[in-house]
Chains A and B, each alone.
Chain A
């Protein structure tokens, strides 16, 4: 079990090892385009499988929606 901040909310995640990809799957985020930051650092799509989220991390996942 680990606890992170996800979009400014405390979130308990049932995992000992968590990548960005795991988080997106666990939270069932379905939009195709995101901006992901861990502790303020930008994580690009190519890094989703490798980027590890640790206990206590501040994670932001922003959906990009079409329209303008």
Chain B
């Protein structure tokens, strides 16, 4: 497929981005660059200086809401991408409604309990919906640790092992790898047919 053909196909699809931190901001930017038609992005948080070691924001955006800052950054990269921004916290109650029209949902949370929440909510309420997750991305090095596990409509990208802590921080290279693995998996799902 040429890039023109890829863009033309992806233009018809909507992808949900659950969280606009390290995983979500980088994944959303990649999906916008390749031509996904619409992104439904959700986050409640505000940009802090400590986020800039991995998240797709700029120094002069510190203090802004992540979801709106990301929307404006993506509009500067590819104004063709249509963006629906939700400044809210995702819960079991609102996940099915907010992502109802999405062809694929990307899990891009930081907290493990939130990853579990969205996985169970999607499996329970919308089992036909592909969910692409990022699990295991802390620290640096060990490129060979990454992979994707498929379990029904659940796709889990990452090393599946490392958990972030003070001594194992989330950093641009490994977070960037996993977020782009998620974007790559979304492309494969959308282009190979749902």
Interface residue ranges, A against B (CB under 8 Å): 31-35, 37, 40, 42, 44, 60, 62-68
Contact = CB atoms under 8 A, between A and B. Distances in A.
Nearest to A41: B123
A64 B124 CA distance: 17
Interface stretch (B2-10, B70-78, B113-121, B140-148): B113-121
Nearest to B160: A63
Contacts of B163: 31, 65-67
- Specify the main secondary structure of chain A where it touches its partner: loop
B28 to A, nearest CB: 13
Contacts, number: 74
Interface of B: 19, 21-24, 108-113, 115-116, 119-120, 123-124, 134-138, 149, 151-152, 154, 156, 160-164, 170, 175
A67 B164 contact: yes
A42 B118 CA distance: 13
Nearest to B25: A68
A1 B164 CA distance: 38
Q: Top 10 nearest A-B pairs by Cβ distance?
A: A67-B164, A65-B163, A68-B110, A68-B23, A64-B115, A64-B112, A33-B112, A33-B116, A66-B112, A42-B123
